[in-house]
Amino acid sequence: MRREPAQTLGDYTPLLFPAAMLTIFFVVPFGTMIAVSFFQRQQGGFYTPAFVYDNYARFLSAFFGGVLGFSLMLAIAVAVCCVVLALPFTYLLTRMARSVQVLWLVALLSVLSLSEVIIGFAWSTLFSRTAGITNILVALGLMGEAQALTPSFGAVLTGMVYQAFPYTVLVLFPALVRLDPTLTEAARTLGASPLKAFFTVVVPALRNTIVATLIMVFIFALGSYLLPQLLGRPQHWTLSVLITDQAIYQSNMPFAAAMAVFLVLVTLGLVALTVIAGRKGEAA
Amino acid sequence: MSGLALQNVVKEFGTFRAVNDVDLTVPHGTFVCMLGPSGCGKTTLLRMIAGLDLPTSGAIRLDGEDITRVPTHKRDLGMVFQSLALFPHLTVGENIAYPLRIRNAPKEDQQRRVDELLAMIHLQGYADRPVSKLSGGQRQRVAIARALSISPKLFLLDEPLSALDAKLREAMQVELRQLQQKLGITTIVVTHDQREAMTMADTVVVMSGGEIRQAAPPVEIYRRPADSFVADFIGQTNLIEAESDTLGHVRVLGQPVPGLSLLPGAAKATLSIRPEDVRLTAPGAGALSGTVTFIRDLGGTIETFVDVAGRQIVAVSTPRARPEVTVGQRVGVALTPDCCVVLRK
């Protein structure tokens, strides 16, 4: 169905409400943050309006560069782990009976209802020496003695993958449900084993969905600031942790704002690159 | 034995028996059409031959080897699905090369084979097009070429032409049959379209309720249907009750038909009389008498509906042999023993 293009000002009225909400709750706060990032910091937690680059200049150091690099690497690792785990899982889920699907989706949704704090403390208990999963391995005779798995990079990664996994499944689910099941059957009749059929038909046919999901999980993981503190050492802290630290504990709003703006810019840049690369791949 | 053999194949879904004890032999190089109403088990049977479903019991043999439990991808088949199932992320050429690529055939061989197949389906120069840019008939040909690219032992097609419009479908039927004869490949097509089956098949397998009702060449299926289901399903027919007295004289709707005999020991039977075998005459001796109720003139054929003792009998004739009758006229319906097929009960 084709719709008439908007002719009069009146035709735009349905847009007013979302536009206003977007302005009040996104454009204004974000603009404020950009403005604050150029302000001059006063000792004692205040800032005065100014236009200085000090906050950005301070950021351009090896230390913050390292933190930024680690944050991006962690977010990419979480995104890749989530998609690699969720894609086969969701694929198998869509092939199951409706009742089984509903059961799994409800379970995943209940994980979504857990707050980051609860997930963080739950995993730190599971990874602890005294009450952790290594005690089970010891009981099974697979390990000599119980040991603490946290704080470590692996613990941070596990916690964040756990947190982002339900989102990943929910984003992949509709696309996989719509995928014609005869495509894989056709691949099998043409000589592909079920595993080969998955990699030569399901994955490439869903390329765009997979890229979109990677970007979504990446951005989601980039904002995580509690799990790295709960499950990691200071060297596993992400830029989001430092931003929180600066904004809340050091009361350095201008520097926190500058870091946040920088993080947004880098994120947008990476997403744009991915999209452009995706377009190129499509054309080829 | 060379070819495909199904032995006592049964498939149950829960308590529902979709395929009930099917035996079928398909000699190498023959073209078989499985024909039946929807839900008769023909697609399930095809999926078991392909290995996409496992039989509950029974055996499937290909060239003497038991393939009942061989996974689909090791059966060296070519299959065309109702939805065609062309891979949307691949071009025409890549789709056709897929079975070769999966088997790690050398690039040059793949290229050569794709060119050969594109020439065979009259789509030269289409190799680099995305499949989404093709018409329905072109997609159909690509799906067929893809299924044939490894020269499979078995060529299976599930309602392959149902998405095409009527004209194109008839043309593709002829093309598919000619292609199969040229390649000499054992082919099984599932269809609910009897014209399609009659056009293409060496053997038509009529199925109903998960069972094979008759498996025979098209003309025999038409001329000598095994039972009333087959007679009624294939083409148009008049099914009329006949009864025999103790002396063996057969009466049809009260009218004696000399020379006709029912199956030994049966006092009653159903006759199948094809509409083109029904001859309308002047009312009188040696014929059933009835009243013309309706005349359907289709241009190429004329169907005359006659009411005989409450039973409707249809007669078909060509315009040249148009019966000189009008609605309401009393006519005679002449029956000769050679046009009546006595059906098993």
- In this predicted structure, the answer to whether residue A284 has a pLDDT above a threshold of 60 is no
- In this predicted structure, the answer to whether residue A45 has a pLDDT above a threshold of 70 is no
**Domains of chain B from N-terminus onward:** 3-229 (3.40.50.300), 236-343 (2.40.50.140)
CB contact (8 A) between residue B87 and residue A191: no
Residue B67 pLDDT: 92
Q: Is A251 on the interface with B (CB under 8 A)?
A: no
CB contact (8 A) between residue A183 and residue B99: no
- In this predicted structure, the answer to whether residue A235 has a pLDDT above a threshold of 70 is yes
Q: Write out pLDDT tens, residues B136-184.
A: 889 999 999 999 998 899 999 999 888 788 888 888 899 899 999 999 9
DSSP state of B195: H
CATH number of the CATH domain containing A252: 1.10.3720.10
Contacts of A182 in chain B (CB under 8 A): 81-83, 85
Q: What's the mean pLDDT in A101-128?
A: 90
What distance lies between CA A102 and its chain's CA centroid?
24
Q: Is A10 on the interface with B (CB under 8 A)?
A: no
Report chain B (345 residues): mean pLDDT per 10 consecutive residues.
Answer: 88 90 92 91 93 92 91 92 92 94 92 92 90 90 92 92 85 90 93 89 93 92 90 88 80 79 78 89 80 91 90 89 86 84 78
Q: Of B50, B67, B63, B3, nearest to B202 (Cα)? A: B3
* Phi and psi, residue A6, nearest 5°: -60, 130
Does the residue A236 lie in any domain?
A: yes
Does the residue A250 lie in any domain?
A: yes
Contacts of B73 in chain A (CB under 8 A): 188-194, 196-197
Q: Write out pLDDT tens, residues B172-182.
A: 899 899 999 99
Residue A14 pLDDT: 84
Range 200-239 of A in CB contact (< 8 A) with B: 200-201, 204-205, 207
| CB-CB contact of A180 with B85 (8 Å) | yes
Q: Of B294, B285, B300, nearest to B315 (Cα)? A: B294
Q: Of B287, B245, B268, B256, nearest to B342 (Cα)? A: B268
Residue B1 pLDDT: 59
- Smallest CA–CA distance, residue B321 to chain A, in Å, is 51
Taking any CB pair shorter than 8 Å as contact, residues of chain B touching chain A are 50-52, 71-73, 75-79, 81-83, 85, 87-90, 98-99, 101-103, 146-147, 150, 156
CB contact (8 A) between residue A192 and residue B73: yes
Q: What's the mean pLDDT in A50-58?
A: 80
Contacts of A189 in chain B (CB under 8 A): 50-52, 72-73, 75, 77-79, 147, 156
* Chain pair A-B, CB pairs under 8 angstroms: 70
Contacts of B99 in chain A (CB under 8 A): 190-191
CB contact (8 A) between residue B73 and residue A189: yes
CB contact (8 A) between residue A190 and residue B99: yes
Does the residue A229 lie in any domain?
A: yes
Picking from B49, B98, B131 by the largest number of A CB atoms within 10 A of its own CB, the best residue to mutate is B98
Q: Which residues form the domain of A134?
A: 54-278
CB contact (8 A) between residue A180 and residue B85: yes
CB contact (8 A) between residue A185 and residue B150: no
Range 73-102 of A in CB contact (< 8 A) with B: none
- Smallest CA–CA distance, residue A202 to chain B, in Å, is 9
Contacts of A193 in chain B (CB under 8 A): 71, 73
Picking from B83, B89, B157, B158 by the largest number of A CB atoms within 10 A of its own CB, the best residue to mutate is B89
Give all strands (DSSP E) within chain B, no chain letters. 3-13, 16-27, 31-35, 57-62, 65-66, 77-80, 154-158, 186-191, 203-208, 211-216, 238-244, 250-252, 255-256, 268-273, 279-281, 287-297, 302-308, 311-317, 330-334, 340-343
CB contact (8 A) between residue B83 and residue A182: yes
Residue B285 pLDDT: 66
CB contact (8 A) between residue B150 and residue A191: yes
CB contact (8 A) between residue B77 and residue A189: yes
Q: Which residue of B has its CA nearest to A200?
A: B102
Residue B345 pLDDT: 61
pLDDT band at A93 (very low <50, low <70, confident <90, very high): very high
Strands B154-158 and B186-191: parallel
Does the residue A187 lie in any domain?
A: yes
- In this predicted structure, the answer to whether residue A1 has a pLDDT above a threshold of 70 is no
- For chain A, how are helix, strand and coil distributed in percent, rounded to 5? 75, 0, 25
Does the residue A216 lie in any domain?
A: yes
Angle, helix B136-148 to helix B92-102, in steps of 10 degrees: 20
Contacts of A190 in chain B (CB under 8 A): 73, 78-79, 98-99, 102, 146-147, 150
Residue A280 pLDDT: 65
Contacts of B72 in chain A (CB under 8 A): 185, 188-189
Nearest to A189 among B79, B87, B89 (CB): B79
Does the residue A10 lie in any domain?
A: no
Instruction: Round the average pLDDT of chain A to a whole number and report it.
Output: 86
- In this predicted structure, the answer to whether residue A89 has a pLDDT above a threshold of 90 is yes
Residue B94 pLDDT: 94
Does the residue A9 lie in any domain?
A: no
- Alpha carbons within 13 angstroms on the beta-carbon side of residue B86 total 28
Picking from A95, A183, A190, A200 by the largest number of B CB atoms within 10 A of its own CB, the best residue to mutate is A190
Measure Cα distances from B186 to A257, B3, B154, B191 in Å.
Answer: 72, 7, 5, 16
CB contact (8 A) between residue A188 and residue B147: no
Q: Which residue of A has its CA nearest to B143?
A: A186
CB contact (8 A) between residue B102 and residue A207: no
Does the residue A129 lie in any domain?
A: yes
- Domain count for chain A, please give it: 1
ipTM strictly over 0.85?
no
Q: Of A156, A148, A94, A146, nearest to A125 (Cα)? A: A148
- In this predicted structure, the answer to whether residue A186 has a pLDDT above a threshold of 50 is yes
Looking at per-residue pLDDT, the higher value among A196 and A145 belongs to A196
